[in-house]
Amino acid sequence: MNAAIDPAPISSAPDQDAPLILALPKGRILKALGPVLERTGLFRDGSAIGEGTRSLRFPTLDPQVDVVRVRSFDVATFVAHGGAQIGVCGADVLMEFDYPDIYAPLDLGIGGCRISIARPVGTGAHDNQAASSHLRVATKYPTITRRHFAAKGVNAEIVHLHGAMELAPTLDMASVIVDLVDTGSTLKANGLHETDVIAHVTSRLIVNRVALKTRPDAIRALIERFRDALQENVA
């Protein structure tokens, strides 16, 4: 009778020769990031990243760096769970998810906006809170929202939406909204006004902490390329 052969152990060590994966957000932040990416030497035209292809992963000018293009809210999740070693996302995402596995070494200073409370025109900042310690809030930021209102002694009942928050007060789904605000024109067009700013937001370069320990030279070199690109812009 043949003796059983134990399967070879599966190594969990990272492949030091595999390209680093840089997770980039689709949309507004990626457009603002274009010139920075050009100065890092990763792309010739940072404004055309991924154009003309349905692929979500593609190479850069550096054979040791690949890019994945994902939803802005998913960048932090990809980096925290090791799908990407480094990424770019807004501080709002970091505040909402607060992943312990993420280190944010660099504020890129782009994509500036704010997380704000907005209410129907004609209501003040304290109209709803004065009558009750309970408030229904429409938002895609449940953690940030609960934390903010809890600090004021208000229990925020969350109506979790991923978009079109501005409709919630007019359809009696919520009294107020908490959302990302840039110019405020969308609020105004939908009969709302900004009453409180919870936090100001810019985009950050983020790194997986485990990857930083296992591939420190490669990741620190990439961080420095971004840092140099920002300094070049200032100069």
| Pairing, β 134-139 against β 155-160 | parallel
pLDDT digits (tens, 9 = 90+) for 38-68: 999 999 887 667 666 778 998 999 999 999 9
Q: How confident is the model at residue 83, as a pLDDT?
A: 97
**How many CB atoms within 10 Å of residue 131?**
9
- Span of 6-20, 97-111, 172-186 with lowest mean pLDDT: 6-20
Q: What is the pLDDT at residue 14?
A: 58
In the chain, what are the domains?
20-112+202-234 (3.40.190.10), 113-199 (3.40.190.10)
Q: Which two tokens stand for residue 100?
A: 């312990």
Residue 10 in this model has a pLDDT that exceeds 70: no
Walk across the sheet containing 113-120 and list its strands: 155-160, 134-139, 176-181, 113-120, 192-201
HEC states along the chain? CCCCCCCCCCCCCCCCCCCEEEEEECCHHHHHHHHHHHHHCCCCCHHHCCCCCCCCEEECCCCCEEEEEECHHHHHHHHHCCCCCEEEEEHHHHHHHCCCCEEEEEECCCCCEEEEEEEECCCCCCHHHHHCCEEEEEECCHHHHHHHHHCCCCEEEEEECCCCCCHHHHCCCCCEEEEEECCCHHHHHCCEEEEEEEEEECEEEEEEHHHHHHCHHHHHHHHHHHHHHHHHHHC
pTM of the model: 0.85
Confidence of residue 27 (pLDDT cuts 50, 70, 90): confident
Q: What is the pLDDT of residues 114-173, one digit of tens each?
A: 999 999 998 765 555 445 688 999 999 999 999 999 999 999 999 999 999 999 999 999
Q: What's the mean per-residue pLDDT of the chain?
A: 89
